[in-house]
Structure 1
Amino acid sequence: MAGLDKAIAGATRWIETNLLADTVRVRASATAEPVLDPETGQIEYPQGQVVYEGPGAVIPSSPVDRRTAPEQSQPWSEQYRSSYLLLTPLTAPVLPQGALVEVTAAHSPVSAALLGRNWLTSDPGLASTVDVVRRTPLDQNEAPAGTP
């Protein structure tokens, strides 16, 4: 496949240079239990270990939101989760399911709208026989109040 790798190397370089313009941080899900902070009275959730921090992009993966509670007999209302994809260089690790993803630096005012939001990896990174960028499916967590 050396010939194919050589043929797509230019596309890979272009994507890494032009599309992966923001900085993302990915933390594995924490294994420790939440603890009570006696000074504030707040429960603190431990942060997982950083498994990747570097160039990336978060993009919508579908124009349609997914319903996560479809049963009428359930005692809560339906919830919708927006689906996204995390794009990272091929040199980034395959991310575990349940990892927390944040955009920590934005390249423009448009992508700055992603600051303060976070996502969970819904599956490990996608794989194919021909790749130019690593793709990881995401589910957006509820955005904090005041986030655009």
Structure 2
Amino acid sequence: MAGLDAALAGVTAWIGDNLLIDTVRVTLPATGDPVLNEATGQLEYPDGDILYEGPGAVQGSAAQAEISAVPDHNLPWVQETTSRYRLLTPLPAPIPPKDAVVTVVAVHDPAHTGLLGRSWTCTDPGRAGTVEVVRITPLDQLRTGAP
């Protein structure tokens, strides 16, 4: 359908120009043993392999129904919540696998630095469909920062 393809190309270009304006990094989780940083006295995990670094966006969910609480195994009450976010990347970007780690490494506006320093895990692979204009990957914010 030539008309639909042309319309989708226009939407894809608009999304790239107006939404995918920050820089995101998608990495595999670190697999090596932690190494002692003698300067800080802290154990540090090695970096995971970078799968993608480029244009993207991380958006929080506005729907309260998408925030759910999960009890820890040894507590009789709910302690932590699952924070639903979504990663938007261009269609040519690789599909992030489940458990990949996402960080925002640069923002387009210095006033919007709230996402810097946080990390998320991909709860499922990037979604796919027969008609797409942007890749959407569901995320959950990591509680303790990057692994």
User: Normalised by the shorter chain, which TM-score bucket?
Assistant: 0.7 to 0.9
Alpha-carbon RMSD across the aligned residues, in angstroms, is 2.3
TM-score by length of structure 2 reads 0.85
Which residue of 2 is the match for residue 15 of structure 1?
15
* 1:58-80 Cα distance to aligned partner (Å, 9 max, x none): 00134322212277x73675211
**Contact 1:83–1:137 under 8 Å retained in 2:** yes
Which residue of 2 is the match for residue 67 of structure 1?
69
TM-score by length of structure 1 reads 0.84
Structure with the largest fraction of strand: 2
Specify the code of the residue in structure 1 equivalent to 2:106: A
**Contact 1:102–1:119 under 8 Å retained in 2:** yes
Which residue of 2 is the match for residue 120 of structure 1?
121
Alignment coverage as a number of residue pairs: 143
Q: CA deviation at 1:5?
A: 2.4
**Contact 2:69–2:78 under 8 Å retained in 1:** no
Percent identity over the alignment is 53
| Gap runs ≥5 in structure 2 | none
* 1:34-85 Cα distance to aligned partner (Å, 9 max, x none): 23345643211111001000000000134322212277x7367521121000
- The 5 Å alignment of 1:1-148 reads 3-38=3-38, 40-64=40-64, 65-69=67-71, 74=75, 77-142=78-143
Distance 2:109 2:124 in 1: 28
